[in-house]
Amino acid sequence: MKQQAVTIKLEHGLEARPVAMLVQVASRHSSSVYLELEGKKVNAKSIMGMMSLGLDSGEMVTVIADGPDEEAAIADMADYLCGNN
């Protein structure tokens, strides 16, 4: 299991469309991928779970991945959250 703290740098935070795209990024990987904010941990492959976090630009989240491609999953999630998509 790997994890990394990431500051969200998306201009408009994570509204419906960016959340859907983030779920797609997570779903490309076979590893389990989660985002954690203030003690709340949700499956990054779940649109409803991700929407429940209500993430905004400037917030710091922890990306957690566990599985065969966990490092790639964390790198892709961090790139997306930092606006490097």
**In total, how many domains does the chain have?**
1
How much is the pTM?
Answer: 0.93
Q: What is the mean pLDDT of residues 57-65?
A: 96
The range of the structural domain enclosing residue 76 comes to: 2-81
CA atoms of 61 and 64, how far apart (whole Å): 10
Q: What is the CATH number of the domain that holds 12?
A: 3.30.1340.10
pLDDT in tens, 15-54: 888 999 999 999 999 999 999 999 999 999 999 999 999 8
CA atoms of 10 and 29, how far apart (whole Å): 22
pLDDT at 2 over 80: yes
